Amino acid sequence: MIRVTAVQPDSIAEELGLRPGSELVAVDGRPLEDFLDWEFLTAEEQFLLHVRQPDGEEIEFDIERPLGEPFGVSLEPARIRRCANRCDFCFVDGLPDGLRDVLYIRDDDYRLSFRYGNFATLTNLKPKDVERIIEYRLSPLYVSVHATDPTVRRYLLRNPTAPEILPQLREFADHGIEFHTQIVMSPGVNDGAVLRQTLDELYAFGPAVLGCSVVPVGLTEFSKHHLVREPTQEECRAAVALVEERAAIALSERGSHWAFGADELYLRAGLELPPEAIYDGFDQVENGVGSIRWLQQRIRTHHEAIAGWEGRTIGVVTGTAMGRLMPMVLEPLAAITGARFELLPVVNSLFGASVTTAGLLPGTAVQDALRGRRDLDLALLPGESVNDNGLFIDGMSAELLAAAVPVEIRFSKDFADALAMGAAA
């Protein structure tokens, strides 16, 4: 059963008398569990919908609607699938006390992998989940492989019952499912020969594995430093060499680069980022793979829309990781817009200086960085630093921040989105 949270005006749902609190029980006799069932089972033009109204009345509707016409309901969010692993590098373990409860949930959910590109390990799949992935053809999935060697993978995941990943992927691939994969590289565990083996085996798996990224493990001050450490510059260089070796083979054999190092891997290796052309479709840009090149591309593409900021000074708030790379984006941005950009790399006051990603910046640290900055015409903030409800990781709201600082703030994912709205008054 899925509960309706809102009904759009003038929609089919409103016409049927559905309202917030109505329960969608079954479609064509098949019980509904979550948004996947709802979307896939109602994809046809005609279906029987069993509804339980808030007053307990049960109704069966014979629905006929033109393909593509939205039904008009918002559904309560699915209960997140909990993770079955206990990775030493788990981000959740690295969270300080006192944050929003939802942040302490270890999610490992194939449905969010399909829908939003969240990486999942597939270690918590039940037979019914496997059937759904195949029946609904949830492809591509984003899969955290880490190591193809089952012993190493189980060690990394701290899950002695984790199923072997290659046979698992094979079962799905035989039904047409494809995968974007990642390896979070933990030095001394899955780098070196293990990394080579994992890249080799994933590549040899065949075209169903669309690509593989290598991301250096990131820790916070609260992580289990006695069990896991961050890679050295030399270890990152060695990983880059393996990635590029595999990418060169893939390019000659398959015409795509297939293997990618995260921007952070190059940064820690002290190496220049690869050119834009190697990132194929930027499939893992949300995973920090090719982010800088992607931003440069977006700025170029939208150059006309973002012009007209001459004489303005724009602050760019970011985490310290991107702070080192951001000049590569801000220089062309200044040339196109005419504005002067000031980079404001913010140290993470919540997790410690070792957490450098913009997505985890607390609102209070951003507030401190913008305190008294009347000289700025606008401050751009990383779009990923707030959730869908406009909350920073420390629970501060974007509204509260906007009221607390003396400069207009805009959230941005690629600069073009915020600057194309025109100059600040």
Binding site for ligand SF4 (CB under 6 A): 83, 85-87, 90-92, 106, 108, 121
- CB-nearer residue toward ligand SF4: 133 or 273: 133
- CB-nearer residue toward ligand SF4: 82 or 254: 82
| Dist CA 191 CA 90 (whole Å) | 18
CB of 1 to ligand SF4, least distance (A): 27
CB of 130 to ligand SF4, least distance (A): 18
Which of 39, 19, 183, 185 has the alpha carbon at shortest distance from 114? 39
CB of 110 to ligand SF4, least distance (A): 12
- CB-nearer residue toward ligand SF4: 107 or 253: 107
CB of 121 to ligand SF4, least distance (A): 5
Cβ atoms within 10 Å of 3's Cβ, excluding its own: 14
Residue 218 φ then ψ, to 5°:
-115, 135
Contacts of 252 (CB under 8 A, 6+ apart): none
Task: Kindly report the three-state secondary structure assignment for every residue of 152-215.
Answer: HHHHHHCCCCCCCHHHHHHHHHCCCCCEEEEEEECCCCCCHHHHHHHHHHHHHCCCCEEEEEEE
Cβ atoms within 10 Å of 150's Cβ, excluding its own: 14
SS3 content of the chain, % helix, strand, coil (to 5): 35, 20, 45
- CB-nearer residue toward ligand SF4: 43 or 92: 92
CB of 264 to ligand SF4, least distance (A): 16
CB of 240 to ligand SF4, least distance (A): 23
Which of 219, 211, 197, 101 has the alpha carbon at shortest distance from 149? 197
Residues 16-27 as b or e (16 or more Cβ within 10 Å = b):
bebeeebbbbbb
Cα 155 off chain centre by: 25
- CB-nearer residue toward ligand SF4: 83 or 381: 83
Which of 122, 111, 199 has the alpha carbon at shortest distance from 161? 122
Residue 397 φ then ψ, to 5°:
-95, 155
Which of 57, 55, 4, 49 has the alpha carbon at shortest distance from 25? 49
- CB-nearer residue toward ligand SF4: 83 or 239: 83
CB of 123 to ligand SF4, least distance (A): 8
CB of 107 to ligand SF4, least distance (A): 6
Cβ atoms of residues 145 and 181 within 8 Å: yes
CB of 83 to ligand SF4, least distance (A): 3
- CB-nearer residue toward ligand SF4: 47 or 91: 91
| Dist CA 418 CA 416 (whole Å) | 6
Q: Is the dihedral of CA 314, 298, 384, 37 positive or negative?
A: positive
- CB-nearer residue toward ligand SF4: 86 or 371: 86
- CB-nearer residue toward ligand SF4: 182 or 337: 182
